[in-house]
Chains A and B, each alone.
Chain A
Amino acid sequence: MPEKMEGALTGYRVLDLADIKGTYCTKMIADMGAEVIKIENPDGDPTRNIPPFAGDIPHSEKSLYFLYRNANKQGITLNLETSDGRTIFKKLIEGADVLVETYSPGYMKSIGLDYEVLKEINPELIMASITDFGQTGPYKDWKGSDIVAYCMSGAMISSGYPEGSPCRLPGTPAYDSAAMSAAISITLSLFHRGTTGKGQYIDVSVHENARMGLYPWLLPMYSYNVNPGSPPPGPEGRLGTALYPIYPCKDGKVRVVALTPRQWDALVKILGEPEVLMLPEWREFYYRIGNADAIYAIIIGFTMEYTMVELLEAGHREGVPIVPIYDIKGFVDSPHTKAREFFTEIDHPVAGKYQTPCPPYKWTETSCQINEPAPCLGQHNENIYCDELGYSKDDLSALRRAGVI
C-alpha cells in the first residue's frame, strides 16, 4: 500500500469534546490530516442518536450525522465527571495542540478544566469554546439550537416565500458556520503560534457567527438604506424566488439568474425570442423584480419546452447562468460530480460500505481526503491509553468498571 500522503495539518493533535455545535469544526481539521481524538462520555456522544440511521433502525454506530461528521477521527471514551477521568484528560492535554469544546459557559471551570488550568499544563495549548451565545454577556446562559441561531442571525426572515412562514436552510447551517469560524481561528492560532510560541483561548458564539457566516450583507444593506421606504428588493424580504427564479421544464426544474441586460437577452434568445419577452423594459433587473409575478407567468410557458440539461447547456452557450435543480440523487449522478470524484467509498465495521462526500477541495501538495470511517464508541481506547499513556489492559478494565472510560 502506498504511504498515505500527509495533509496540510498533519502533525497536530486535536482533542475533540465537541457536540453538534462543533463537530464540523473538528471534521474540517481532521480532513486536513490533523490527528483528531474525539472524546466521548462512556455512554456515547449525543449526536450518535441523531436520525436517520443506516438501515433506518436506531443504533449508536449508525447515525448518518455522526458517521459523516466524524470520519477521519479517532474515538476514545472518558468521563470528565470523575476525578480519574480528569487526571487522564490532563495527561492528554500535555500532548495536545488544540482542544475544542462546546459545553455551556462555566462548565469546564466547574470541573476544574478551564483554560486557566489547562494552559498551566500546556502553555502552547489552543483552546476553542463554541457555545450558543458566547462565554459572557446578557444571553450567555440562554439556551440555543441551530434554528434559534438561524432565526436570530437575520437569515430566517429572508428565507422562504413572502406570504408563507419563513423556511430554514436544511442541515445545521448556523452551527456549521460557527464551526467554520472556530476552524479558521484555530488554524490562524497554530500559524501564529509557529512564530510566537503562544497558546490561545478562543470564544466562538453561534449566535454571532451565524450572522457573518450566512448573511453578512443584511446589516450593510439595511445601513445603506437600499430601498428607502419600499420594495423592490429589500434585504429582508423573502425574495429568493423573485431574485433567483425557479421554472418548471420538461423533466424537472431549473433556476435562472439573469442579473445583467446581456444575460436577460441571452435568456430571451434561448427561449426563441418570443415577442412577449422582447419589451425593452424587461431588460431592467429591478423592473423584472418589481413585476416578478407577471414575468414568471410568461416565462413558464417557454421553459416547459426544454429539458434541464438543454437549458443548462444553452445558458452556457448564450451567456446566461441556468442550472438544474437537482435532488440528492441528481447531484450524485451529475457528470460533473462524477468527474471530480467528489464521493469516495468508506467501509465502516458496523454500517458497512457507503459513498461519502469528500472535502470541497483538490490540493496539489497535501492530502485532503476521507481515509477512515467514524470511530466506534471507544474504538481507540487501547491505542491512546495503553500505547501512549502506558496503562495496562487490566488498568483499562478497572477504569471501565469504575465508569471512567
Chain B
Amino acid sequence: MTNYPLDGIRVVNFGTGVVIPDFGKILGEFGADVIKIESGENLDFMRTIGSDINNSPGFNESNRNKRSFGVDLNTDKGKELVRDLIKTADIVGENFRGGVVKNLGFGYERVRELKPDIIYISSQGFGAGGPYSDFKAYGPMLAAASGVLSLWAHPDDEYPAGASFPHPDHIASKQAVFAVLAALDYRRRTGKGQFIDMSQIEAAASLIGEAYLDYSINQHVQQPQGNRSPYAAPHGCYRCKGTDQWCAISVFTSKQWISFCNALEKPEWIEDPKFADTVSRLKHIDELEKHIEEWTQQHEPEVVMQTLQAVGVPAGIAQRAVDTIADPQLKWSNATVEVDHPVAGKRLYPNLPWKMSDMEFCESTPPPLLGEHTEEICREILNLSDDEIEQLKQEKIMEIPLLEEGEE
C-alpha cells in the first residue's frame, strides 16, 4: 500500500488566481484530498484567461491534483453543503478579495464552530488588518507596492522593468504551504488548529529584507543594480550569438577569475591592475562587460555556458521553455511531467522538484473541469442519495461540467 505523507488530510480550497490554487496543487501532490469550491457564477478569474474555462494554461497548472466541487454559494442549500464538507476537513485555504469569504459565512470564526481544530489560512494581497486589507491586488502589483519593483531594473532604466510572470504569487504560495505544514505538525502534537493570515506583499518584501535593514540602519534607499552584484564581478547576463540569446556569467573568487580569463584567451587581464580583484573589477565594470560581450556575441549561449562550466566558472543560458525541456539535467531528474486532460489534451507541467529517500508523492492528476467532482463528492463525502443529488441539479445549486460539443 502506498503511503503518501498527507493521506487522509482534506483541504477545502476557496482559491482564485494563483496563491491558494498553487498552494492546493502542492498539498495535492503530497496526497491530500484538495477540493476546490467554485461555480460558473463566481469563476476563478484564471479560468477566463484562455480559449475556454477548462483550457487555460495558467489555471490548469495551478489547479492540478484537486477535485472541483461546483456549488452556488449564493444559495442557503449551497452554503449548507459546503459547511458539511468543512466538517470533514483539516485545512481551509482562501484568497478571495478581503472580506468576501467572511461575508459568505465561511470566515474563520464560523468555520471553527464547524470544525474546532481546523487550520485556516487566509491570504490577501496586502494582508488583513490595515487600510488596504480589502483592496484587490494581483501579484505584479504587490511587487510594486513592496519596494521590490523599485529595485528591479538596470541602473540607467527610467522605469522599473518587472517580468511577464506574476511575482510574488508563486513565492507566496510556497510560503503558505510551509506555514500550513508547520501548523499541521503543531496540531498533530497538541490537537490545536489555528488561523494564519498571510500577506502576499510581505512575502515579497521578506525576500529582500536586507534592503530594509539598509534603510533602517544606514538610511540608504537602495537603487536598482540590474544584474550586477556588489561582491562578484563580472556578474551579469550577456548577449550571445543569435536572436535574443543570453548567458549568465558570475565570477566570485580569484580562482574563478583566472579560469575565466584563460577561457576567454585573455591571460593579460589576470595581470591587469584594473581587474586585479572584485573591487577593482567593479570599478571598471563597464569596460570589462564591454569586453565580455565582444566575446559572448561571437558564440551561441550553449558554447559560452559549456566553455565556462568546463573550467569551473558559474554560467547558465537564459533558457526558454523548450530549452528547459531539452536541459539534460532536468531531463535526468524527470523535472517535466505530461498530464492528459479531457479538454486541454496532453500537456507538459513542472514536476515536484525535489527528491526524498523515504517518501512517495502522488502522480499529478489533471486539473478538474468546472464541477467535475460535484456528484462524487456529494455521494462519497456528504452521503447524499441519488434523489437528493437530482434535486440539487434541478435547483441549479450544483455545478456539473457542461462540455461543449466535440469535447470529451
Is the pairing of A and B real? Answer: yes
Contact B336 A184 (CB under 8 A): no
The answer, among B214, B321, B327, for a CB contact under 8 Å with A152, is B327
Smallest beta-carbon distance B65→chain A, Å: 13
Task: Give the interface SS of chain A, mostly helix, strand, loop or mixed.
Answer: mixed
Name B250's contact: one of A147, A240, A339 (CB within 8 Å). A147
B372 lies within 8 A of chain A by Cβ: no
Q: CB-defined interface of B27-49 with A at 8 Å, one 1/0 digit per residue?
A: 00010000000000000010011
| A342:B205 contact, CB within 8 angstroms | yes
The answer to whether B135 and A189 have CB atoms under 8 Å apart is: no
With both beta carbons as reference points, the residue of chain A lying nearest to B244 in the complex is identified as A157
**Whole-angstrom CA separation of A337 from B205 in the bound complex:** 11
- Since A11-B189, A49-B231, A238-B161 are in contact, a sample of 5 more A-B pairs with Cβ atoms closer than 8 Å, ordered by chain A residue number, is A142-B309, A159-B162, A218-B320, A243-B140, A332-B216
The verdict on A8 contacting chain B, using a C-beta distance below 8 Å, is yes
Q: Which residues of B contact A236 (CB under 8 A)?
A: 164, 320-321
Mask of B309-329 contacts with A, CB within 8 angstroms, 1/0: 100111111111111110111
Chosen A-B contacts, 18 in total, with CB atoms closer than 8 Å, are: A115-B357, A139-B329, A147-B227, A154-B320, A166-B318, A167-B152, A170-B211, A180-B174, A188-B181, A191-B188, A200-B356, A224-B55, A326-B147, A331-B205, A336-B133, A340-B127, A361-B199, A363-B197
Interface string of A121-156 (1 = CB under 8 A from B): 000000000001111111110111101111111111
A181 CA to B177 CA, complexed, in Å = 10
Is A39 interfacial (CB 8 A cutoff)?
no
Is there an interface contact between B194 and A363, defined as CB atoms closer than 8 Å? yes
Q: Mark A325-357, 1 if CB is under 8 A from B, else 0.
A: 111111110111111101100000001101111
Is A403 among interface residues, defined by CB-CB distance under 8 A?
no
Interface hub of B188, B252, B327 (most chain A Cβ within 10 A)? B327
B175 within 8 A of A: yes
The reply to whether B353 and A212 form a contact with Cβ atoms under 8 Å apart is yes
A188 touching B350, Cβ below 8 Å: no
Give residues of chain B (121-177) contacting chain A, Cβ–Cβ below 8 Å. 126-138, 140-142, 144-154, 157, 159-165, 167, 170-172, 174-175, 177
Q: Which residues of B contact A26 (CB under 8 A)?
A: none
Instruction: Say whether A52 contacts B171, CB under 8 Å.
Output: no
- Alpha-carbon distance between A154 and B317 when the two chains are bound, in angstroms: 9
B215: nearest chain-A partner, CB-CB: A328
CA distance A169 to B139 in the complex (A): 14
Q: Which residues of A contact B60 (CB under 8 A)?
A: 220, 224
Tell me, rounded to whole Å, the shortest Cβ–Cβ distance linking A223 to chain B.
4
**Which B residues are CB-close (under 8 A) to A170?**
148, 151-152, 208, 211, 224-225
Contact across chains for A357 and B182 when beta carbons are under 8 A apart:
no
With A137-B332, A330-B147 as given contacts, are A201 and B356 in contact (CB-CB < 8 Å)? yes
Chain B residues with Cβ under 8 A from A316's Cβ?
Answer: 132, 134-136
Is B248 part of the contact surface with A, judged by Cβ < 8 Å? Answer: yes
> How distant is the Cα of A296 from the Cα of B58 in the complex, in angstroms?
26
- Checking A134, A216, A322 against B170 with a beta-carbon cut-off of 8 angstroms, the contacting residue is A216
Which residues from A are CB-within-8-Å of B328?
137-139
Contact A68 B194 (CB under 8 A): no
Is there an interface contact between A177 and B174, defined as CB atoms closer than 8 Å?
A: yes
> CB-CB contacts of A195-225 with B at 8 A, as 1s and 0s?
1101111111101110111111111111110
| Cβ-neighbour of B185 out of A8, A143, A254 (below 8 A) | A8
Cβ contact within 8 Å between B159 and A223: no
- Contact residues in B for A136 (Cβ distance below 8 Å): 332
Q: Which residues of A contact B171 (CB under 8 A)?
A: 173, 176-177, 180, 213-214
Closest to A214 in B: B170
Decide if B164 touches A239 in the complex (CB within 8 Å).
Answer: yes
Kindly identify which residue among A68, A154, A203, A329 contacts B355, using a CB–CB cutoff of 8 Å: A203
Nearest-CB residue, chain B, relative to A134:
B333
Interfacial residues of chain A within 174-194, with CB under 8 A of chain B in the complex: 176-177, 180-185, 187-192, 194
Chain B 169-213 residues near chain A, CB threshold 8 A: 170-172, 174-175, 177-179, 181-186, 188-189, 192-203, 205-213
- Complex contact B215–A332 (CB within 8 A): yes
- What are the 3 A-B residue pairs with the smallest beta carbon separation, nearest first? A222-B321, A240-B162, A360-B202
The segment from A88-96, A105-113, A255-263, A385-393 that touches chain B is A255-263
Cβ B321 vs Cβ A221 within 8 A: yes
Return the chain A residue nearest B237 by Cβ.
Answer: A166
Find out whether the CB atom of B350 lies under 8 angstroms from the CB atom of A207.
no
Does more than half of chain B's interface fall in helix, strand or loop, or is it mixed?
Answer: mixed
Contacts of B175 in A (CB 8 A): 28, 180, 360-361
Least distance between B98 CB and chain A CB atoms (Å):
11
Residues of A with C-beta under 8 A to B55:
224
Compute how far the CA of A151 lies from the CA of B218 in the bound complex, rounded to whole angstroms. Answer: 31
How far is B316's CA from A205's CA once the two chains are assembled, in angstroms? 15
The verdict on A168 contacting chain B, using a C-beta distance below 8 Å, is yes
The reply to whether B329 and A133 form a contact with Cβ atoms under 8 Å apart is: yes
Question: How many whole Å from B111's CB to the nearest CB in chain A?
Answer: 13
**CB proximity to B under 8 Å, residues A214-268:** 214-224, 226, 233, 235-241, 243-244, 246, 253-255, 257, 259-260
State A194–B211 Cα separation when bound (angstroms). Answer: 38
| B347, CB-defined interface residue at 8 Å | yes
Distance, CA A226 to CA B344, complexed state (A):
12
Residue A158 interfacial (CB < 8 Å): yes
Choice from A134, A181, A220, A366 contacting B349 with Cβ under 8 Å: A220
> How far apart sit A280 and B175, CA to CA, in the bound complex (Å)?
41
**Cβ–Cβ contact B140 & A257, under 8 A:** yes
A54 at the interface (CB under 8 A from B): yes
Cα of A329 to Cα of B197 in the assembled complex, Å: 24
Known pairs A147-B250, A255-B140; A216 contacts B130 (CB<8 A): no
A65 interfacial by beta-carbon distance below 8 Å = yes
Given contacts A213-B171, A255-B141, are A354 and B181 in contact (CB under 8 A)?
no
CB contacts (< 8 Å) of B357 on chain A: these are 115, 200-202
Partner of A223 from the list B160, B174, B231, B348 (CB cut-off 8 Å) is B348
Measured CA separation A265–B364 after assembly (Å): 39
Q: Closest residue of chain A to B146, judged by CB?
A: A331
Decide: A211 near B205, CB < 8 A? Known: A143-B309, A147-B236, A199-B358.
no
B209 & A356 in contact (Cβ 8 Å cutoff): yes
Q: Is the CB of A165 within 8 A of B316?
A: no
B67 proximal to A (CB < 8 A): no
Beyond A143-B309, A357-B206, whether A189 also contacts B359 by CB under 8 A is: yes
- Judge if B276 is at the interface, Cβ distance under 8 Å: no
Asked if B14 is an interface residue, CB under 8 A from chain A, the answer is no
B147 touches A360 (CB 8 A): no
A14 adjacent to chain B (CB < 8 Å): no
> Is B217 an interface residue, CB under 8 A from the partner?
yes
A326 partner, pick from B145, B239, B332, beta carbons under 8 A: B145
Q: Is the CB of B163 within 8 A of A219?
A: no
In the bound complex, how far is the Cα of B85 from the Cα of A363, in angstroms?
A: 24
Nearest CB of A to B237, in Å: 5
Are A156 and B246 interface neighbours, CB within 8 A?
yes
Find chain B residues with CB under 8 A from A133 CB. 329
Closest to B245 in A: A157
**In the complex, what distance in Å separates the CA atom of A246 from the CA atom of B323?**
30
Kindly report which residue of chain B lies nearest to residue A226, judged by CB atoms: B57
The interface bits of chain B over 223-263 (1 if a CB of A lies within 8 angstroms of the residue's CB, else 0) are 01111011110011111000010111010100010000000
